[in-house]
Chains A and B, each alone.
Chain A
Amino acid sequence: MEVGPGHDPIVEIHGLNHWFGTGEARKQALFDIDMTLPRGSLTVLMGPSGSGKTTVLTLAGCLRGVQDGSVRLMGHELHGAGAAQLTDLRRHLGFIFQAHNLHESLTALQNVIMGVQVRPGVPDALAQQAAARALGLVGLSDRMGYLPANLSGGQKQRVAVARAIVGNPALVLADEPTAALDKDSAGEVIDLLKRMGTARGTTTLLVTHDNRILDRADRVLMLEDGRLVSP
């Protein structure tokens, strides 16, 4: 499968509906969502808990199957895509989770290497270099050999950011990436993602409740009860 950051827009969502549960318990989570993420942009998706932000994130991130409507990622239609195709596409995305989800037995450097090694054929030395560079970008050059247990919450989150960007992904999907960071660190992470958008064309879709970073976003979208509303 040919994928790359060259497509613009990176994500096109049209008429997206999504349900959870079956039978009488079936509940609609998203209603007729239309959304476009231009290449290199940083979009913040806001909304109260249960509004459907995470569902949008998981659908755009190929983590769930599209039930109704269209989601095009880097030119590939996700509606009807098979598990293998979704897995393949995910290799070109970067994920940042609220709970950093670092592997406890891997050092910071090794955790970041995992973000490169997912693409077959990358030589070890190259993966190491890229991981070290990514850790340098998040200011953790001096913590490369540390296990997550020996890092602070903010440092762990920065390692997670490095892991997400190390493979130069077309799209970064981030869930509350600044929740565990102080104001300065949060600003640095967002600035880094913005710089990547400018320099490499990396697109970022970021779910957050953190008002401190809204002014740095290119666009702010608001979801309420599964519907996009004006912010």
Chain B
Amino acid sequence: MSRLLQRLFGRLPIGWLQLTHKRGRFAAALAGVAFANVLVFVQLGIMNAMATATLKPYSFFTADIMISAGNANALSEGGNVARQWMLQALADPAVAAGMGLFVGNVPWDRTDGDITFTTFGIDPGRPDFVAAGLTDGFASLQVQGTAIIDRLARGLPRDEAAAIRPQSPLSFEAQDRTLTALTTFAGGGGFGGDGFMLVSDQTFLSLFPARGSAAPDHILLRLHPGADVPAAITRLRSLISDESLRIRSYGDAAQEDLRYQQTQRPTGVIFGFGVLIGVLVGLVIVYQVLSADVADHLREYATFKAMGYGPRFFLGIVLEEALVLGLLGFLPGLVFGTAILALMGAVTTLPLAMTPAMAAMVFAGTVVFSVISGVIATRRLAAADPADLF
């Protein structure tokens, strides 16, 4: 390693030699950087999971435009939309079809614990609004009390979920109603529920008697192929007289929901701060190590100054140390971060996993905060006055 660095820098790798001279301190420093990396990985993993979980239900449906209440910041938040606006929207020549979407949480009381399904009530006669992976068994929703449930739901044993078939349906009690699942789909646990469930709008209304068929949570619209979505939205805004409604493209609605979860909801903000704290911890650890190292070698640095070495040489040494700490601390951080995310994902069924993008981002961040720490630490070198050596 020493020879490799010597070739790389074209000089003795003094930073590397200094760090490895005191192996115990070096190992502790690497552990500190790795710990900061793990902190960031976990927080980023949770933020990623939140993004995945937020966007997941949007992938269940295919639509071009979504109409929501003015206070509906998320799919499962906010007021209702009068169905009459869907009929009004259908008057636009670009709009091909519309469907009301009902959303509510349905708890399934089980002996081994509750499972809360984020439940979507949809028109069973409109399979064209449902993503390809969910059309299997979709027609069965026309039968009152029928459901398609999430086989990846948190708390649902996998073997029990795998046994659900039209030939061997699963019946269960929820909201004082009996529901029968004939088929399943792959959803996954999120932050607002343990999994997802699809039912017909009529079954949904039987589960939520206080809700009315004339007021779904959202209205989904599909346009004719080739229609201009922004232009259609503009026309719909003039066509629909309720100005409090949010009329957005389906993609924009998903992204706005995500932004809301990440920046407005306490959980998103907390995880965001978690990432920041991880970065700050890393900065402080690397700065402390480098700063202590500079202080320990002040006399040697003063000697080098006396010999004629300039500021760039010293900056080079400290940056060399910073990069060594950053790079070698990243590797154990990556390994432990991956393991911890996998463990957390297995326990919570949240989509927690290390992604190449996360690893690359944290690696780049580690290098940057190491370099920043190094640059700050070199300020202590000003105290190394070679005239004091005599």
Contact = CB atoms under 8 A, between A and B. Distances in A.
Interface in A106-126: 106, 110, 113-115, 117-118, 124
B11 A63 contact: no
A179 to B, nearest CB: 13
B308 A88 contact: yes
B66 to A, nearest CB: 64
A210 interface: no
Contact of A95 (B14, B306, B310): B306
Contacts of A124: 6, 10
B4 to A, nearest CB: 13
24 contacts: A57-B390, A58-B387, A63-B306, A63-B387, A63-B390, A64-B387, A87-B308, A87-B310, A90-B306, A91-B307, A92-B308, A95-B307, A95-B389, A97-B390, A101-B300, A103-B297, A103-B300, A104-B21, A105-B21, A106-B12, A114-B12, A117-B12, A118-B309, A124-B10
Interface residues of B, number: 25
A61 interface: yes
Interface string B360-373: 00000000000000
A116 B310 CA distance: 14
B307 A63 contact: no
Q: How large is the interface on A (under 10, 10 to 19, 20 to 34, 35 or more residues)?
A: 20 to 34
Contacts of A118: 304, 307-309
Interface of B: 6, 10-12, 14, 17-18, 20-21, 297, 299-300, 302-310, 386-387, 389-390
* Chain A interface mostly: mixed
B33 to A, nearest CB: 20
Would you list the 7 A-B pairs with minimal beta carbon distance, nearest first? A91-B308, A105-B21, A90-B308, A101-B303, A63-B387, A54-B390, A105-B17
A12 interface: no
Most chain B CB atoms below 10 A, which of A57, A97, A103, A110? A103
Nearest to B15: A105
A89 B306 CA distance: 10
Contact of A104 (B300, B302, B389): B300
A71 to B, nearest CB: 14
A63 B386 contact: yes
A58 B11 CA distance: 28
A101 B389 contact: yes
Most chain B CB atoms below 10 A, which of A57, A61, A102? A61
A97 B303 contact: yes
Interface in A50-87: 54, 57-58, 61, 63-64, 84, 87
A117 B299 contact: no
Nearest to B389: A97
A103 B310 CA distance: 17
